[in-house]
Amino acid sequence: MFSKYKSLIIWFLIPVMMTIFLFLTRPEVDILSPYELSRLVYDRDGNILRMTMTDDDAYRLRVTATEMSPLVREAILFQEDRFYYWHSGVNPFALFRALDESYIKKSRFMGASTITMQLARMHYDLDSTNIGGKIHQIFRALYLEIYYSKEQILQAYLSLVPCGRNIEGFASGSIYYFGKPLEKLELPEVLLLSVIPQSPADRTPNPDEFNGELNDARMRLYERWLTRHREDENYRQSLLLPPYFISANDYKAPHFTADLIASFPGEERIYSTLHSEIQNILEEQSELYVRRNRPNGVYNASAMILDRNSMEVVASMGSVDFFNNEIEGQVNGTKARRSPGSTLKPFIYALAIDQGLIHSETMLKDAPTSFSEYTPDNFRSDFKGAISAKEALTSSRNVPAVSLASQLEENTLYTLLNKSNVPLKEEKHYGLSIVLGSAELSMEELLTLYGALGNEGRLKPLRKSINSERSYGKELFSREAAYLVHQMLLTNPAPDGYNSKSENIAYKTGTSIGFRDCWAIGLFDEYVIAVWIGNFDGVGNHSFLGRYMAAPLLFELIDAIRSNNLSKGDIPEYENLNLVETAVCSVSGMLKSEYCYDSKITQFIPGISSIEKCRIHRPVYIDPETGFRVNTEGKGTIEEVWEFWPSDLLELFKNAGFPRRSPPPYAPEGYISGEYSHEGYVPSIESPLSNVEYIFRIDSEAFRKIPLKAIVDGDVKRMYWFDGRQYLGSAQPGEILFWEPVPGEHNIRIVDDKGRSSLRRITVGSGQ
């Protein structure tokens, strides 16, 4: 009985087994899932910046539905498979014709492969040059048609088809040969791509040599194309000319694109915020500038430009030559951590404004000063004496900045950087030297900080992809402080020779210790910009000065952007500012008193800024008979207004050739008397230092003395030093008194000849 139904059972089991087999071996939903694909990075306008190579050294891109334009679709079907949508993977008519020509007539070999069969051969790595391989190819083609739509198969084919060299697929071929996306190709370019897969070895485009076989094949396809599209006859002349190829995958913004690719793993297409026109200006101008300054030892530079409002990176250059190993060109200078020099000073001033320590016209002291164990110096070891906060910032004076930093409470520069997610060591590791660049920051971190100056004091993160989430940011300082510091930086003069288009640029320069790095960072129009000049090997160069080397490049970039109309001219807007205008003394910067002979207008934050009146200009009553000063107005006394300057500033004025007159003295009846005024500046002890333990060597007399030094008011003629109740001696202003202490705790007190005093506690130890 079994033998009777054997044939029937077999014919029944075959489709059942085939169905089970197909079910168990069903492929992944994505045909391209087994393949590593290249990745594309675009600029903000959809122009291609970079196409990566896969690990198997191929350029292979997925062809998307939008890229498969009607032109591309029709051209490839016209060339390879005109009945693609009418068969189920195998064209029986083409197959019988191929069998007849290849094996019966033996006139020529014909493959008869449909697009589905070609995809099967590539996808399953089949040898279809023999009967067995062809049968396998047919079976696999039918198999693909069962599980995938015609559109999926065509997209996969266009993604994998060989296009010469190591180029796979029309999408990568379009970019490599023509430098543009597949959907933007015109008819001559589409026809050229369409004929390469038939013979990729012979038809590979070559920009240096005319490929006759390639051009002839394209013309044959064009003639067939015209049978359906007579309207395209106008392309004939251009098709007779050799095709123009880019034939390269140029690296545009290589550091930036590499960073994006690393930041978005798995993304096949990344749409960046880069503005290609500004990027080209940045690269070209920087390269010319470096080349021009090579005699000064300049070989490298980095720069970045952001849109201030969105904090989008519009241009980025990690080095002037990515492929130059001599300058370590593949190091990304925008992410490298370097000493920022003085570029952090604006944020000291912003914090000081918020804490009521200063306004833009406050007089600061630029004189030799010690802060605990730290003694800052200016770049050229000079001191300007009394200087406004605005001038101290724009001229980058170190002592005023460090002095302000030492007065900040709670919200210090360290806490501001910490809030900004800058990686830092413990605060005590830096001390006050953090003001002058002892903490390393990257260009990206510095730009976010400067962006806060233009965004009402709010720190917003950088955005490199248009798909990145926008952030309102977090407040670092008030909008009033941001506005006032921005206004102060606007007064920073341009470098010599850069005045043509350099208006409304708020910038700051910086130079690291050892002249290893020089910076220029600022805001102009709607942009935030940073420039770094240096060498990645860290070798110092005395030419690396922020104002003289980095600032000129900054201004050249700004001029080029404005000249090319790539700037809207928008300036930062600060809304609802809590500021009032008030008159301050032109000399002291304090609120103008009735004794100040000149004043200027500045802006205050009500309830925050100091309301102390000027103490430099004070009335003095003089007895006309003796010429001595008296405290109270009396019969016959003469009132005069004098300037009272601290002793250290008087010494600076004297050394600079501009000595100030000292107020008339009191009558010499004693160094402390009830008739003397206790108004004015109290003495400020410079040495001994605060918060320092002195350890003296018991075996050396040369290291057992501490200098006693103080700054006193301008009317002081003598100052007196005490250790507790013990009198140590006296000295004139500016004079140093040396004291040999014993180990233990000491209360050092100074009293000036007007009765004003200060106290400092110190500890003295001893050792070998």
pLDDT in tens, 385-412: 788 999 999 999 888 898 899 889 889 9
In this structure, are residues 359 and 350 in contact, taking their beta carbons and an 8 Å threshold?
Answer: no
Give the C-alpha separation, 317 to 335, whole Å: 10
Task: Decide: helix, strand or coil at residue 721.
Answer: strand
Give the C-alpha separation, 394 to 81, whole Å: 72
Domains, the chain: 24-240 (1.10.3810.10), 333-507 (3.40.710.10), 684-767 (2.60.40.10)
More confident call, 357 vs 246 = 357
The token duo for 290 is 């470096």
The token duo for 690 is 């605060």
In this structure, are residues 447 and 528 in contact, taking their beta carbons and an 8 Å threshold?
Answer: yes
Q: Is the pLDDT of residue 182 over 50?
A: yes
pLDDT score recorded for residue 16:
55
- Number of alpha carbons in the 13 Å side-chain half-sphere of residue 196: 27
User: Mean pLDDT over all residues of the chain?
Assistant: 86
Crossing angle (nearest 10°) for helices 70-80 and 212-226: 100
Give the C-alpha separation, 243 to 247, whole Å: 11
Helix (H) or strand (E) holding 751: strand 744-752
Give the C-alpha separation, 707 to 689, whole Å: 10
Cis peptide bond N-terminal to 688, omega within 30: yes
More confident call, 100 vs 414 = 414
pLDDT mean over 193-220 = 90
Given pLDDT bands bounded at 50, 70 and 90, which one contains residue 298?
very high
Nearest to 457 by CA among 300, 346, 305: 346
- Number of alpha carbons in the 13 Å side-chain half-sphere of residue 163: 29
Other Cβ atoms closer than 10 A to 316: 32
Give the C-alpha separation, 617 to 595, whole Å: 6
pLDDT score recorded for residue 129:
77
- From its phi and psi, is residue 216 left (phi > 0), alpha (psi between -120 and 50) or beta? alpha
Given pLDDT bands bounded at 50, 70 and 90, which one contains residue 668?
low
Given pLDDT bands bounded at 50, 70 and 90, which one contains residue 171?
very high
More confident call, 97 vs 645 = 645
pLDDT score recorded for residue 357:
94
Give the C-alpha separation, 333 to 317, whole Å: 8
Give the C-alpha separation, 623 to 626, whole Å: 6
pLDDT score recorded for residue 292:
96
The DSSP letter of residue 307 is E
- Number of alpha carbons in the 13 Å side-chain half-sphere of residue 562: 18
Q: Is the pLDDT of residue 318 over 70?
A: yes
Given pLDDT bands bounded at 50, 70 and 90, which one contains residue 750?
confident
pLDDT score recorded for residue 674:
42
**CB-based contacts of 404: which residues, under 8 Å, 6+ apart?**
348, 349, 352, 357, 358, 364
Give the C-alpha separation, 296 to 565, whole Å: 32
User: Each residue of 684-716: pLDDT tens digit?
Assistant: 888 887 767 777 766 666 567 888 888 888 788
% of the chain at pLDDT higher than 70: 88
What's at 649, amino acid-wise?
L
DSSP 265-277: TT-SEEEB---HH
pLDDT score recorded for residue 360:
94
Taking every pair of C-alpha atoms in the chain, what is the biggest distance, in angstroms?
A: 152
Q: Is the pLDDT of residue 465 over 90?
A: yes
Given pLDDT bands bounded at 50, 70 and 90, which one contains residue 3?
low
The token duo for 242 is 């050799």
The DSSP letter of residue 436 is G
Cα three-residue angle 423-328-433, rounded to 5 degrees = 35
Cα three-residue angle 586-592-598, rounded to 5 degrees = 40
CA torsion angle for 759, 760, 765, 768 (degrees, to 10)? -110
Q: Is the pLDDT of residue 94 over 80?
A: no
Given pLDDT bands bounded at 50, 70 and 90, which one contains residue 670?
very low
The token duo for 329 is 């060109």
Given pLDDT bands bounded at 50, 70 and 90, which one contains residue 381?
low
β-bridge mates for residue 48, sequence order = 42
**Please, which contacts does 427-430 make with residues 24 or more away whose CB atoms are closer than 8 Å?**
none
pLDDT score recorded for residue 111:
56
The token duo for 140 is 């696999």
> Radius of gyration (Cα) for the chain, nearest Å?
40
Q: Is the pLDDT of residue 473 over 90?
A: no
Give the C-alpha separation, 630 to 167, whole Å: 96
Distance of CA 357 to the CA centre of its chain: 30
0.75 exceeded by the pTM? yes
**Please, which contacts does 236-245 make with residues 24 or more away whose CB atoms are closer than 8 Å?**
238/188, 239/188, 239/191, 242/210, 242/215, 243/188, 243/189, 243/192, 243/205, 243/214, 243/215, 243/218, 244/207, 245/177, 245/178, 245/205, 245/206, 245/207
Q: Is the pLDDT of residue 379 over 60?
A: no
Q: Classify the C-alpha dihedral 262-263-265-269 as positive or negative.
A: negative
Mean pLDDT is lowest, of 356-365, 400-409, 655-664, for: 655-664
In this structure, are residues 62 and 35 in contact, taking their beta carbons and an 8 Å threshold?
Answer: no
By CB atoms closer than 10 A (0-12, 13-18, 19+), residue 151 is exposed
pLDDT mean over 139-158 = 92
Parallel, antiparallel, or unpaired: how do β-strands 269-271 and 40-42 relate? Answer: parallel
In this structure, are residues 314 and 284 in contact, taking their beta carbons and an 8 Å threshold?
Answer: no
pLDDT mean over 8-34 = 65
The token duo for 665 is 């003295």
The token duo for 158 is 């266009």
Q: Is the pLDDT of residue 56 over 80?
A: yes
pLDDT score recorded for residue 689:
76
Mean pLDDT is lowest, of 11-20, 182-191, 524-533, 754-763, for: 11-20
pLDDT mean over 175-200 = 93
% of the chain at pLDDT higher than 90: 52
Task: Decide: helix, strand or coil at residue 247.
Answer: coil
pLDDT mean over 155-163 = 96
Nearest to 429 by CA among 374, 387, 477: 374
Give the C-alpha separation, 304 to 306, whole Å: 7
Give the C-alpha separation, 531 to 537, whole Å: 18
